[in-house]
């Protein structure tokens, strides 16, 4: 008798059946959770695995030792066709300029006679540093992020958020890497 009474006291109360409205609410919450999980999982995947391979435009371009890879202060800028950038040494500071004209996307060229970049399409001109001189371009040339790494691949210097020219490290063995996926817009002259 006592055992029966105890069992009935501890048994769970019977749940009333779900109404249609409650069922729809639960289904809606479950679908929201599913959408969140898919979105979160997708974002995690996207950030965990780089989209571009090393040496592919959009990814990293390791150029080797600074002492070998960089042009000197009196050298013309060096073009990297695969990476779509020009490496320019301006008074011992280095820049990686995105090789697409900021007017309508033509490929500009270095002109040794005038000592500046000139676009063949509509005549925009830029200094060796990528600064706007004249023409229909709305701003100076865009820049990519450069990183110098020392021993153990530790970054020792990197382009700042404004894309200012980066001082070249004294160590000629410092490794230089261009991140072609990080493009900093040139300054508007308007």
Q: 66 and 172 in contact (C-beta within 8 Å)?
A: yes
Least Å distance between CB 128 and ligand FES? 17
The interface region with ligand FES, picked from 3-11, 22-30, 67-75, 114-122 by CB under 6 A, is 114-122
Binding to ligand FES by residue 119, rule CB under 6 A? yes
The interface region with ligand FES, picked from 82-90, 91-99, 134-142, 154-162 by CB under 6 A, is 134-142
Q: 98 and 142 in contact (C-beta within 8 Å)?
A: yes
Among 78, 103, 131, 182, binds ligand FES (CB under 6 A): 103
Of the chain, the end-to-end C-alpha distance in Å amounts to 93
How far is residue 46 CA from its own chain's centroid?
13
Among 24, 27, 30, 104, binds ligand FES (CB under 6 A): 104
E strand residue ranges, the chain: 60-65, 78-80, 85-90, 93-98, 109-111, 116-118, 125-126, 132-134, 143-149, 155-158, 166-167, 175-184
CA-to-CA dists, residue 7 to 1, 10, 11, 33, angstroms: 10, 5, 6, 38
Least Å distance between CB 84 and ligand FES? 15
Tokens of 57: 């435009």
Binding to ligand FES by residue 90, rule CB under 6 A? no
Site for ligand FES in 136-155 (CB under 6 A): 136-137
Binding to ligand FES by residue 135, rule CB under 6 A? yes
Cβ closer to ligand FES: 17 or 105?
Answer: 105
The interface region with ligand FES, picked from 44-52, 73-81, 103-111, 164-172 by CB under 6 A, is 103-111
Cβ closer to ligand FES: 166 or 183?
Answer: 183
d(CA 172, CA 86): 20
Least Å distance between CB 106 and ligand FES? 4
Binding to ligand FES by residue 157, rule CB under 6 A? no
- Please calculate the CA angle 136-137-141 and round it to the nearest 5 degrees: 160
Binding site for ligand FES (CB under 6 A): 101, 103-106, 119, 121-124, 135-137
């Amino acid at each position: 008798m006592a055992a029966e009474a105890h069992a009935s006291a501890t048994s769970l109360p019977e749940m009333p059946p779900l109404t249609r409205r409650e069922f729809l609410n639960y289904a809606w919450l479950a679908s929201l959770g599913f959408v969140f999980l898919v979105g979160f999982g997708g974002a995690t995947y996207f950030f965990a695995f780089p989209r571009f391979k090393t040496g592919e435009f959009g990814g990293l371009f390791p150029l080797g030792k600074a002492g070998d890879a960089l042009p000197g202060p009196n050298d013309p800028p060096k073009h990297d066709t695969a990476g779509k950038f020009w490496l320019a040494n301006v008074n011992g500071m280095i820049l990686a300029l995105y090789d697409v004209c900021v007017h309508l996307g033509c490929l500009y060229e270095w002109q040794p006679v005038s000592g500046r970049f000139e676009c063949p399409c509509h005549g925009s001109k830029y200094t060796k540093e990528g600064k706007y001189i004249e023409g229909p371009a709305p701003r100076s040339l865009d820049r990519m992020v450069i990183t110098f790494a020392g021993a153990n691949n530790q970054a020792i210097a990197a382009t700042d958020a404004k894309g200012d020219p980066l001082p070249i490290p004294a160590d000629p063995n410092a490794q230089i890497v261009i991140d072609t996926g990080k493009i900093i817009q040139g300054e508007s002259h308007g």
